[in-house]
Amino acid sequence: MYNILICDDEKDIVSALKIYLASEEEYQTFTAYTGEEAIQVVKQNEIHLVLMDIMMPQMDGITAMVAIREFSNVPVILLTAKGEDTDKILGLNLGADDYITKPFNPVEVLARVKSQLRRYVQLGSAVKKDTVLRIGAIELDDEAKVMRLDGEPVQLTRTEYEILKLLMQEPGKVFSSKTIYNKVWADNPYGAENTVAVHIRHLREKIEINPAEPRYLKVVWGQGYKIERGA
Amino acid sequence: MQGAIYSLPVKFTAIFLSVLTCALCTVSVFLTAIFISLGFYNPQMTQFDYYQSDDCSTRVYYAASTIVYDYYSLYRNQADWTESALMSADAELSAAAVEGIASIDDELAGYQEQYSPDHTNFRFTLLKDNQTIPISTYAGEEYGLRQEYTFTVYDNEQQTEETLTIQCYVVSPFAVSDEYSSSSYWYTWAFDMKYQMLALAIGSTLLLIVLCVYLICAAGRKKGVNHVVAGGLHTVPFDLLTVMVWTVGILLAVSMGIGYYDATNIITEGLRTCLLITGLFALGLFYVMSFAVRCKQHTLWKNTIIYRVYHWIKNGILRFYRNRSIVGKSLFFVVLLAFLTFFVGTMCISSHNEGAFFLYVVLVAFVVGSLLMGFQVRYRRIRRGIEKIAHGDLETRISTKGLYDGLKEQAENLNQISAAVQTAVEKQLKSERMKTELITNVSHDIKTPLTSIVNYVDLLKKQQIQDPTAKEYIEVLERQAIRLKKLIEDLIEASKASTGNISVNLGVLDTTELLKQVSGEYIDRLAQHQLELVLTVPEKELPVLADGQLLWRVFDNLLSNAMKYSQPGTRVYLDLTEEKNQVLIVFRNISRYPLNISGEELMERFVRGDSSRHTEGSGLGLSIARSLTELMNGRFEIKVDGDLFKAQVTLTKTI
């Protein structure tokens, strides 16, 4: 049983989120309509995850989150109507674990909640092995040739696996299509070869909750691809 | 504060005093000078002895020479008359000669009378050839001065030589009152007064200086008025005044008889000179005061006829010159130069001075050349300013420093135009920015209720609803909600992109790689719509300076349009080529609907190929794509040829 706090000044949105989360039997929801209320709820209850709106009157979501971070490391997912890159980056830098842009897709909300909860719960039990590459929710066990997302094994083709491994070995580094082709296929690409791009697209669909807005496997347009280091 | 000492009575008193002082000063200084020349101030001279003075000896010499001259001429005449009386047979003539001799005798007797001891203190004895004594008034009295003069007289006719000796005496003490006694009296008096005179000379000179300084300071000042006021003759032009003063001065000097000197009447002479000097001084004082007033008023140069004439000519030329067009001005100069050249040429050639003419031509060439060059330099500045403004740099202001008339006007007009345009552009930008902000804010406000709509429609869909009509309605709601969401997102992006209200992070990126990535993203999705993506890129890299995220949004829009509007079963072409220093990306697809509008119109906001607006999409995609491309200094063009839709993105290649 996980306790989830939903905080938004729009009551209808809180209710809708409540209905979505209630569809999963293991979630118990708490509600708050202001930043101050949210801080109180987190203080008084054992909360496993917070869904927090940024744009709220009086105390905004980011301020409330910073206040919560002072006494708790509970995962926080920000809900933002702005959709501005600067807000996302600010939120992530100040301790948010993830963000969802409004108007949101219910499926995405559930997936992100699930992902964060798994990581939060597993954090202590995870065993560090040299052969295991881990970035955020992604875990690549090179011995078993298995890739796990939030602990769940994901079915990858051999090429996809090799590409992911290549990128994960040096997170943050940008690999051009040509380099990836050279390393993974051990061959030179010819002409209008977009094979790598197609594979990346497939890989993204498998590991990202919303492939149009990837959190891990990012496209650096005109340069190549990379795995985000800190996600 | 300074009113009292500058009041009119004080000033008049000062003027009167200064004229008086000047007279006094002239006399005293003049006399002091004479005293100095007489050696009065020599410490060895303790008292004045008239008999030893130059004045006494001069008078004696003057009297002696007069006597000798008179006597000689009388003597000669007597001889002539005597001779002619003896020789002549004519009785009448003889009678006349006898009469003449008698008259000479009378004259001699008068002479005797004139120098008689009753009238003068002067005594003399005349000796001829040291023997005879024709005339003598000396009778052995005590004398203070004795002088002896010898004159030798030649007779050219008879070839004889006579010697006349005159022994002169001035008796002591003076027996009668005459010129010697009075001269002695005055000289002795003057000697006694010598220090008083010196003091008077110095004192009056100092007083004069003080008065002059006061008057110069007071000139133009008036009681109760703090600024300088000029009245009367001070308003007369200074050069005219100068001429007037000189004329009056010269007239005064001539009328008072300058240059004419009567040595015998020293008192009258001195008085006259003194009056003349005083008059000239008064004139000079007035002139200096007028000068001072003008200096204080700073009108010395301005209030002259010369200045007025100069100003009048200058203004006339300037007015004439200013009202001409630039052609007129040039013509004016050419005519002026032609006249000057003709004049100088005629002068030089008529005086056979070709070298000077050559020098003149060189000088003119140099002056004209440097003027033209200066004009060119100034004109270039304006031209560059125009170029800058034309290229959109509206902050450019042409410096008008050193520019004259026509050019200056032109530069000022240009500056005004550029300022006006700048203001207009700034206003426009401000209003655009406000519009963008409004759209962004409103859109954000719309997003919150929209979130609820999307969510509750989704929840409604999950309800167990049996009625098929209700289910259909819910689907319509869902589709329109999603479309509304897309519309709002596009609206925000379009307004930001068109006003440049978006952060652009330019960096070097490879277009070949980018197009591969784009095609990788879309190839599967296009395939789902039975569309084949044909990508043609060169082997090598084609780097450009752009923002990858924004460039992706350009192609994202183009390809999502292709997905929405392409005729199924056709191909979508994406070609990358290089042309000189440009990178060309051409996108082509076949439209499902007839494209009956131009490419330009397609890029207008909210315009779509089909005017029905029934399909998904906001109609903002192409407008966004163009704005984003332009933000990266690129070019976005659309061509429509029948059903062929062609978009071309042009970017500058970097090395």
Q: Does residue B1 carry a pLDDT above 50?
A: no
The residue ranges of DSSP E strands in B530-643, in sequence order, are 532-536, 543-546, 571-579, 582-590, 635-641
Instruction: For chain A, say whether B364 makes contact (Cβ under 8 Å).
Output: no
pLDDT score for A122? 67
Q: Which CATH number fits domain B503-652: 3.30.70.100, 3.30.565.10, 1.10.3720.10, 3.40.50.1820?
A: 3.30.565.10
Give dist(CA B240, CA B217) in Å, integer. 23
Chain B contact present for A153, CB below 8 A:
no
In which band, very low, low, confident or very high, does the pLDDT at A123 lie, cut at 50, 70 and 90? low
A177: nearest CA partner in chain B: B513
pLDDT digits (tens, 9 = 90+) for B270-315: 778 788 888 888 888 888 888 888 888 888 888 888 898 999 988 8
pLDDT bracket for residue B50 (50, 70, 90): confident
pLDDT for the residue B590: 92
Residue A125 has pLDDT above 60, yes or no: no
Q: Do B513 and A177 touch (CB under 8 A)?
A: yes
More confident residue, B180 or A193: B180
What percentage of chain A has pLDDT greater than the value 70?
A: 92
State whether residue B539 sits within 8 Å of chain A by CB. yes
**B525 chain-A contacts, CB cut-off 8 A:** none
Nearest-by-CA chain A residue for B523 = A198
Q: Per mean pLDDT, which range of B168-182, B290-304, B513-527, B614-628 is the poorest?
A: B614-628
- Chain A residues whose CB is inside 8 A of the B456 CB are 12, 16
pLDDT, residue B518, reads 92
**Residue B580, pLDDT score:** 87
Task: Check if A230 contacts B (Cβ < 8 Å).
Answer: no
Q: Among A221, A223, A225, A226, pick the best mutation site for testing chain B contact (most B Cβ within 10 A).
A: A221
Q: Between residues A31 and B158, which one has the greater pLDDT?
A: A31
Interface of B with A in 470-509 (CB under 8 A): 485, 489, 509
Q: Residue B165: is its pLDDT beyond 90?
A: no
Is the per-residue pLDDT at B4 higher than 80?
no
pLDDT band at B398 (very low <50, low <70, confident <90, very high): confident
Q: What span, in angstroms and rounded, lies between the C-alpha atoms of B652 and B544? A: 6
| Summary mean pLDDT of chain B | 83
Q: Cβ of A221 and B514 within 8 Å?
A: yes
| B511 close contact with A: CB closer than 8 A | yes
Indicate if the pLDDT at residue B184 is higher than 90.
Answer: no
A70 Cα to chain B: minimum distance (Å):
29
Contact A16 B452 (CB under 8 A): yes
Please give the residue of chain A at the shortest CA–CA distance from B496. A84
Q: Check A223 against B510: CB less than 8 A apart.
A: yes
Residues of B in contact with A211 (CB under 8 A): none
Per-residue pLDDT of B561-578, as tens digits, reads: 888 888 999 999 999 999
**Distances in Å between the alpha carbon of A203 and those of A199, B549, B560?**
6, 20, 21
Sequence spans of domains, chain A: 2-122, 132-227
Q: What is the CA radius of gyration of chain A?
A: 19
The C-alpha angle B81, B87, B88, rounded to 5 degrees, equals 90
- Please tell me if residue A89 touches chain B, with a CB cutoff of 8 Å: no
Mean per-residue pLDDT of chain A: 85
Q: What is the mean pLDDT of residues B515-522?
A: 91
H-helix segments, B88-193: 91-114, 179-192
Between B155 and B338, the more confident residue is: B338
Kindly report the length of chain A.
Answer: 231
Looking at residue A192, what is its pLDDT? 60
pLDDT band at B606 (very low <50, low <70, confident <90, very high): low
How distant is the Cα of A169 from the closest Cα of chain B, in angstroms? Answer: 22
Interchain proximity A223–B452, CB inside 8 Å: no
B319 pLDDT band (50/70/90 cuts)?
confident
Q: What is the model's pLDDT at position B617?
A: 61
Give the residue with greater pLDDT, B604 vs B592.
B592
Find the angle CA(A197)-CA(A201)-CA(A202) to the nearest 5 degrees.
120
Chain A: give the shortest CA distance to residue B445, in Å.
9
Which residue, chain included where needed, has tokens 């040595």? Answer: B263
Lowest-pLDDT range, A53-67, B92-106, B314-328, B535-549?
Answer: B92-106
The CATH number of A2-122, from 3.40.50.2300, 1.10.10.410, 3.30.420.40, 3.40.50.2020, is 3.40.50.2300
CATH class in words for A132-227: mainly alpha
Please list every residue in chain B whose beta carbon sits closer than 8 Å to the beta carbon of residue A192.
516, 519, 535-537
Residue B144: name the closest of B177, B122, B169, B119 by CA. B169
Angstrom distance (rounded) from CA A211 to CA A217: 9
Q: How confident is the model at residue B612 (pLDDT cuts 50, 70, 90)?
A: very low
Please, what is the end-to-end C-alpha distance for chain B in angstroms? 83
CB B452 to CB A12 under 8 A? Answer: yes
CB atoms under 10 Å from CB of B596, counted, come to 10
Ramachandran class of A216: left when φ > 0, alpha when ψ lies in -120 to 50, beta otherwise: alpha
Radius of gyration of chain B (CA): 61
β-bridge mates for residue B649, sequence order: B585, B636
pLDDT, residue A127, reads: 57
Q: Do A176 and B456 touch (CB under 8 A)?
A: no
Amino acid at B71: Y
Q: Decide if pLDDT at B2 tops 70.
A: no
The pLDDT tens digits for B400-456 are 777 776 778 888 888 888 888 888 988 988 887 888 778 877 877 788 888 888 888
Q: Quick one: pLDDT at residue B583?
A: 93
Put simply, whether A106 touches B (Cβ < 8 Å) is yes
- Whether residues B513 and A12 touch (CB distance < 8 A) is answered with no
Could you count the other beta carbons within 10 Å of the beta carbon of residue A14? 19
Chain A hits for B485, CB-CB cut-off 8 Å, are 103
Chain B residues within 8 A of A191 when measuring between CB atoms: 537, 539
Instruction: Compute the count of residue pairs across chains A and B with CB atoms less than 8 Å apart.
Output: 103
Q: Which residue of B has its CA nearest to A191?
A: B539
pLDDT of residue A225: 93
Is residue A176 within 8 angstroms of chain B, CB to CB?
yes
Chain B residues closer than 8 Å to A201 by CB: 520-521, 524
Q: Given CB atoms, is A102 within the 8 Å cutoff of chain B? A: yes
Give the distance from residue A104's alpha carbon to the nearest chain B alpha carbon, in angstroms: 7
For a pLDDT cut of 70, what percent of chain B falls above it?
Answer: 91
A147 contacts A139 by C-beta, under 8 angstroms:
yes
Residue B257 has pLDDT above 70, yes or no: no
Asked if B511's CB is within 8 angstroms of A192's CB, the reply is no
Q: Which residue of A has its CA nearest to B545?
A: A222
